[in-house]
Structure 1
């Protein structure tokens, strides 16, 4: 579970630091941040599902 969480955080941070912040206006930046958050939520649900399947829950 730790490795999956680490992978998700690493991916999220990687996407965040690659944003062209200087060239985005406030609305576009907020939309991109929301997309990153949405992706994280989907990744978290997938990790939980995999953990439960692995442990027979």
Structure 2
């Protein structure tokens, strides 16, 4: 029986096509985790604004 790989463990953060330049000029790969964290932060920041309307 052929089994597809399961995501039972979190794979290493993989760059998804872009880089951030830090204060020292180093290229830091943008990972999916970084994007997910940024989206979560934006959602949290928008919640109080939505309640004011």
TM-score normalised by L of structure 1: 0.40
Which is helix-richer, 1 or 2? 1
Larger radius of gyration: 2
TM-score normalised by L of structure 2: 0.42
Which is strand-richer, 1 or 2? 2
